[in-house]
Structure 1
């Protein structure tokens, strides 16, 4: 029923597995390696067709400096910070309370509400493009940082509530009952008992939502126009020229745009792994 551990495989199969892992890893990393190498390659080499060879002249500082100065990249970066941080904090705060209510309380419509959260995660985002854009125009939120924050807050809360409800459901209900018997109100139970116990899940969810919002390009393109509220993903696309494209600058901008997500993951990797494995074992 369960996969056999690698240690119990036949020697030939185990050897083939160990040899195939580096090959698979190289194939998976090849596009990222190509972007990193292209980001330090000169425009002359790209014009000559040297796409995969080792760079003859490494122009690391020049390419990254030009990517930051030829377009308002810092402005795009600040927009992404303004959009992402409130969206992550708000979505997790609302989802924690919604997940607590769905996991602990029994009320009419509990299952229906939970099913709605589940079903909402399966709706293709392309279907919502025109209605969401029309709604943002009617509310006066089109091409604004506040509109993108409200959009991501609305769409990420459903996924976060589903995620946290399942974690809270695994907590021993006796802890909550004991706190109520001792006279603790519901807010005390939520803040003093539930939140500390699901801290790993909150950290893992923060990384996931941060990555989703920071790397979003589809909705940033649909709900913004110009540079006023555009995040860094749109800013990287703006580095492409009308007739020719300096792919070394686009690659440098892509690396700069990806650095916050990568840095956050490595900074909170321990909590991320603990959150994903929380409740996986009994006893």
Structure 2
């Protein structure tokens, strides 16, 4: 390899890393500012300004947001909605994807297209019908209503993704299991699900983030303040502590922490699932 080509490659690599580093810094700056604001006292912000260098360190904003601001109950509500919604959605979606990908069912292409088309609808046009339907069913203003909405609107996309992954599993694996006497339930639970673990992990991280951060459906099917998830409680927190930026910033950090932890926990599986999906 001649030296001009090597120099160009090194320059391109250096430019890529510099550009990626600049984007990372640009993305991290707001997060750092929020964390710094959350650890300042109200007197410090009032005296020196929100954009000034910190002259104090205090976790009192987190205490106020957690107890007086209702973030504790809101976080519990979010977890009570998010965890069951993710588990139920992925369980139902994996069962449907297994049937549609491994067996010649009549109209399976139509079913997949219908599921995909349902995810293309803007959710805003369904706010009133979903709200009225939850009232008719008798679950309006309850966490069950929010769980049902999240499962219903997410399962189509999950089926579409898992169908593509499960379809790429070699048919010889299933044929060998059938020869050994395994039925559909055994093949699904003991063979297909373990092979689809990277895709399930990637969807778990994505669905947890989507459901946990959802605000639209929460304010559509819930009315009682004690039932609100943490995203909706941030609005009330901002109204309650309109001038106390340290409390509002602390509430934002509390709301963002669970999704960050989940992503860090599933980061390896998430990247592996994306890579496998891209190769296949």
- Common topology (TM > 0.5): yes
Deviation digits for residues 151-177 of structure 1, max 9, x if unmatched? Answer: 111111111111111110110011112
CA separation of 1:15 and 1:265: change in aligned 2, threshold 3 A: closer
The size of the alignment, in residue pairs, is: 275
Contact 2:38 2:248 in 1 (8 A): yes
How far did 1:22 drift?
2.2
How far did 1:209 drift?
0.9
Q: Following the alignment from structure 1 to structure 2, what is the Cα–Cα distance between the partners of residues 236 and 94?
A: 32
Q: Does 1:227 align with 2:225?
A: yes
Q: Does 1:40 align with 2:19?
A: no
CA separation of 1:192 and 1:52: change in aligned 2, threshold 3 A: same
Q: Following the alignment from structure 1 to structure 2, what is the Cα–Cα distance between the partners of residues 192 and 231?
A: 36
State the match for 1:3 in structure 2: none
State the match for 1:250 in structure 2: 248
- After TM superposition, the structure 1 stretch with the greater mean CA deviation from structure 2, 42-51 or 167-176, is 42-51
CA separation of 1:244 and 1:268: change in aligned 2, threshold 3 A: closer
State the match for 1:31 in structure 2: 30
Deviation digits for residues 52-111 of structure 1, max 9, x if unmatched? Answer: 22211112x211111112122211111111111110110000000010111111122111
How far did 1:180 drift?
1.6
- Structure 2 counterparts to residues 168-207 of structure 1, below 5 A: 168-207=166-205
Normalised to the residue count of structure 2, the TM-score between the two structures is 0.91
Q: Following the alignment from structure 1 to structure 2, what is the Cα–Cα distance between the partners of residues 19 and 147?
A: 47
Q: Does 1:107 align with 2:74?
A: no
How far did 1:256 drift?
0.8
- Structure 2 counterparts to residues 1-283 of structure 1, below 5 A: 9-48=8-47, 50-59=49-58, 61-241=59-239, 244-281=242-279
Aligned to 2:227, what secondary structure does the other structure show?
coil
Contact 2:241 2:247 in 1 (8 A): no
Q: Following the alignment from structure 1 to structure 2, what is the Cα–Cα distance between the partners of residues 53 and 169?
A: 56
CA separation of 1:11 and 1:264: change in aligned 2, threshold 3 A: closer
Contact 1:144 1:228 in 2 (8 A): no
How far did 1:37 drift?
1.5
Contact 2:241 2:248 in 1 (8 A): no
- Structure 1: segments with no counterpart, 5+ residues: 1-6
Aligned to 2:99, what secondary structure does the other structure show?
helix
Aligned to 1:107, what secondary structure does the other structure show?
coil
Q: Following the alignment from structure 1 to structure 2, what is the Cα–Cα distance between the partners of residues 110 and 219?
A: 30
- Structure 2: segments with no counterpart, 5+ residues: 1-5
Q: Following the alignment from structure 1 to structure 2, what is the Cα–Cα distance between the partners of residues 172 and 12?
A: 43
Deviation digits for residues 17-75 of structure 1, max 9, x if unmatched? Answer: 3333222211122221221111112223333462222211112x211111112122211
Aligned to 2:139, what secondary structure does the other structure show?
coil
CA separation of 1:190 and 1:244: change in aligned 2, threshold 3 A: closer
Contact 1:143 1:228 in 2 (8 A): no
CA separation of 1:8 and 1:231: change in aligned 2, threshold 3 A: farther
Aligned to 1:225, what secondary structure does the other structure show?
coil
Q: Following the alignment from structure 1 to structure 2, what is the Cα–Cα distance between the partners of residues 186 and 135?
A: 35
Q: Following the alignment from structure 1 to structure 2, what is the Cα–Cα distance between the partners of residues 113 and 102?
A: 9
Normalised to the residue count of structure 1, the TM-score between the two structures is 0.90
How far did 1:262 drift?
0.9
